[in-house]
Amino acid sequence: MACIHLLCRGALNVRKLEGDLYESGDWDLAPEDAHSLVGGTLFLHEKKTKPSYFGGLITQFRVVEADRAHPRRVIFTLSSDTAAKGKAWEGDRKPRAWTGGILK
């Protein structure tokens, strides 16, 4: 399954819904990319050098419009999973990278 590592400092835009369901967003991802991640795992990190502090199984996503340079954004719904905590960053490590990219 696909997965993605994202920088999300201070749990910005992470919102508890009900039970073990959460939302995380608004991410600058194409809807096609978000769709490919449904059923995969999301890992959130404070820094690329620190293990993930939160994550889980992506159950769905929705596209929203934001007042930003790239206005079309994605919000993921995920089921939290303790197995998604403590994972090392994978993927793109460039200094300005906010995502490791979609990994298979």
- Per-residue pLDDT tens digits for 50-92: 999 999 999 999 999 888 777 889 999 999 999 999 999 999 9
Whole-model pTM over 0.85: yes
Question: SS3 helix, strand, coil % of the chain, rounded to 5?
Answer: 10, 45, 45
Report pLDDT for 84. 97
Report pLDDT for 66. 80
Share of the chain above pLDDT 70, in %: 100
31-49 average pLDDT score = 96
